[in-house]
Amino acid sequence: MSAKTPFLERVEKALADDHLRGAVRYTAENLYLKRKAVMADLDVLAEKGEALGNFEELRARAQEIKRHTLAHLDAYLKQAAEQIRKNGGVVHWAKDAREANQIVLEICKKRGAKKLIKSKSMVTEEIHLNQALEAEGMEIVESDLGEYIIQLARETPAHIVIPAIHKTRRQIADLFGAVAGRELATDTKTLAGFARATLRQKFMTADVGVTGANFVVAETGTLCLVTNEGNGRLTSSVPPCQISVVGMEKLVPRLEDLAVMLNLLPRSATGQKITTYFNMITGPRRPGEPDGPEELHVIFLDNGRSNILATQYQEVLSCIRCGACLNSCPVYRQLGGHAYGSIYPGPIGTVLTPLLQGFDQWDELLQACSLCGACAENCPLGIQLHKHIIRLRGEAVAQGREHPLMRTALKAVHFAWTRPGVYKFVARSAHLGVKPFTRRREDGSEYLDNLPSIAAGWTNSRTMPAPARKPFHQRWAELQREEGAK
């Protein structure tokens, strides 16, 4: 066997980190159960006529909205851009990460801006905006508490919604203490209070605020931010200039469509009926208003998304980044986000990353899935993630990306399983073939251990029953003969 691939190295590292695994399992389970409870409540409310629909009904509505929008995306983008300009905003178009970062840099240079503050945004992680700005000598500070922790630790988020899922309060106190230049207590109040005071100072002196957007309403050109802490509001209220980087798939046609999305997103993400803040931004500060940014820039980003349009994967673009698929995924729960290596982990990352960035670095991700389908069941847009994973596996195999031994092994299986005579022979003699690896328990049952090469995964951390000495079809035939004799 060749050396371990980077993916397997990351997996091994994650599996060896008991603290990480414990924290991820605890948080994911917690979010999973909260979501489940709030969805059950929703069904009861819908029954009483006190909700716009139960989960299934709202999901169907959300799918209809997104399907329609994506099918006419060029027209809705155009409408949104016209509205944003009408409201006094400036619209930019970026085909890839490089262009998006370049646009941000140019806006900053034109304003003489050096200090930026950012609210939580996955798309700016995707384009590595922080690195691009820091390379030019700018300061960019994350203001979401979790993202701030991650930034100080110089790591990437381990979860879409709860980025610092894997950090202990001790580690957080050390990170904050290094900024404060003094020892900090480890209680949540002290730590959150320190972050509030430190980041407040950053907000008051920032030249530019950077945000993403959860939704953009085409009919009004309104940017929507969904947050709990209030950092999204601060970023879009205090600094004199706001730049929002928006994945081009984030559109909804009408304000009313937000009602459906707002019923689904917080419930799916954190098990809340609604988040503390839902922020709708329609243009910069208007004449006579005391505060708010005097300039508002919106950058619509493609970065591989248009390649997904009009393919069998198109529905993946309806993702609203709630993280419900992560919390329900048995693989994610074992590994956490870092092992995936992509900014988007879990089932959605497994599908989205190779679609956006190609197979070269990411084909192995497709193996990090047991095809159980829990992700699709929990997805508020009903994206059939596990089916897309199978399709992508098929594409990868068609490109000859599977392990060469795997191809040979599966060809052998195909040969045997399509020929009854060969099949019977294999079934009868299989126990002989694996004899060197067969172990016997005290009760007489047998199992396989230490299988070689690509089969090792089956026996490394679990036991696999040994093939029966007398295969089923043989026993069945014998039973039938006995029955007939009676």
Partner 1 sequence: MTTEQDFLARVAEKLGRSPESAPPPFRPSEPLPAIGPRGKDALADRFQMELEKINGVVHRVNDASEVAPTIVRILNEAPAADPGKSRAGDQDGAGTVGRTVVRWADPLLDEFDIDRALEQAGWQPVAFRQGDDGRAFVARVEQAHAGIVGCDAAIAETGTIVLGSSPLGGAEGNGRGSGDARGNGSAGGRGRTVSLLPPVLIALLRKEQIVFDSAQLFRRLARAPMPSQVIFKSGPSRSSDIENDLTIGVHGPGALHVILL
Query: How far is Cα 113 from Cα 124, in angstroms, rounded to an integer?
Result: 18
Q: Tell me how far, at minimum, the Cβ of 372 lies from partner 1, in Å.
A: 25
Q: Which one among 11, 152, 281, 383 touches partner 1, defined by CB under 8 A? A: 281
d(CA 116, CA 297): 14
72 to 101: interface string for partner 1, x by CB under 8 A: xxxxxxxx-x-----x---xxxxx---x--
Supply the minimum distance, in Å, between the C-beta of residue 255 and partner 1. Answer: 4
Is the Cβ of residue 173 or residue 466 nearer to partner 1 in the bound state? 173
Minimum gap (Å) between residue 396 Cβ and partner 1: 22
411: contact with partner 1 by CB under 8 A: no
What is the DSSP annotation of 401-439? -S-HHHHHHHHHHHHHHT-HHHHHHHHHHHHHHTGGGEE
Residue 365 CB, shortest distance to partner 1, in Å, is 24
For residues 71 and 410, which CB has a smaller minimum distance to partner 1 in the complex?
71
- Judged by CB under 8 A, the chain residues 196 through 225 that form the site for partner 1 are 196-201, 204, 218-220, 222
For the chain, report the end-to-end CA distance as a whole number of angstroms: 55
Q: What is the DSSP string of 442-477?
A: TTS-EEE----GGGHHHHSSS-EEPPPSS-HHHHHH
SS3 at position 71: helix
Q: Which is nearer to partner 1, 282 or 361 (CB)?
A: 282
The count of residues interacting with partner 1 (CB under 8 A) is 110
One of 108, 248, 355, 389 touching partner 1 (CB under 8 A): 248
Indicate whether 19 belongs to the interface with partner 1 (CB under 8 A): no
Shortest spacing between CB 165 and partner 1, in angstroms: 8
Stretch that binds partner 1, among 183-191, 345-353, 402-410, 461-469 (CB under 8 A): 183-191
**Farthest CA pair distance, the chain:** 100
Considering only the stretches 269-277, 366-374, 399-407, 474-482, report the one whose residues sit in contact with partner 1 under the rule CB under 8 A. Answer: 269-277
CB nearer to partner 1: pick between 270 and 318? 270
Among 125, 142, 295, 302, binds partner 1 (CB under 8 A): 302
Does residue 142 touch partner 1 according to CB under 8 A? Answer: no
Contacts (Cβ under 8 Å, ≥6 apart) of 125: 156, 157, 343
Query: What's the rounded Cα separation, in Å, for the pair 256 and 242?
Result: 25
Closest by CA to 163, choosing from 173, 181, 151, 179, is: 151
Tell me the window of 161-169, 330-338, 346-354, 422-430 that interacts with partner 1 (CB under 8 A). 161-169
Find the helix or strand (DSSP H, E) in which 103 lies: helix 97-111
Residues in CB range of 477: below 8 A, 6 or more apart: none
**Which CB, 124 or 275, lies closer to partner 1?**
275
3-class DSSP state of 223: strand
For the CB of residue 253, give the shortest distance to partner 1 in the complex, in Å: 4
By C-beta, is 63 or 367 nearer to partner 1? Answer: 63
Single residue of 112, 137, 181, 287 touching partner 1 by CB under 8 A: 287
Q: In what order do the strands lie in the sheet with 464-465?
A: 438-440, 446-448, 464-465
Enumerate residues 338-377 that contact partner 1 by CB under 8 A.
Answer: none
144 near partner 1, judged by CB under 8 A: yes
Record the tokens describing residue 433, joined without a space: 């073939």
What residue type is 238 in one-letter code? V
Pairing outcome for strands 215-217 and 222-227: antiparallel
Q: Which is nearer to partner 1, 62 or 366 (CB)?
A: 62
Site for partner 1, residues 440 to 479, rule: CB under 8 A: none
Distance between CA atoms of 66 and 250, rounded to whole angstroms? 9
Taking CB under 8 A as the criterion, the residue among 41, 122, 292, 359 binding partner 1 is: 292
Scan residues 39-68 and list those touching partner 1 (CB under 8 A). Answer: 49-53, 61, 64-65, 68
Please report how close the Cβ of residue 331 comes to partner 1 at its closest, in angstroms: 21
Q: Mind giving me the DSSP string for 167-222? A: --HHHHHHHHHHHHTS----SHHHHHHHHHHHHHHHHHH-SEEEE--SEEETTTTE
Options 121-129, 267-275, 334-342, 474-482: segment touching partner 1 (CB under 8 A): 267-275
Best CA proximity match to 221, nearest among 173, 262, 281, 162: 281
Q: Which is nearer to partner 1, 302 or 363 (CB)?
A: 302
If one asks whether residue 178 binds partner 1 (CB under 8 A), the answer comes out as: no
Q: Regarding beta strands 464-465 and 446-448, do their DSSP bridges make them parallel or antiparallel, or are they unpaired? A: antiparallel
| Whether the Cβ atoms of residue 451 and residue 467 lie closer than 8 Å to each other | no
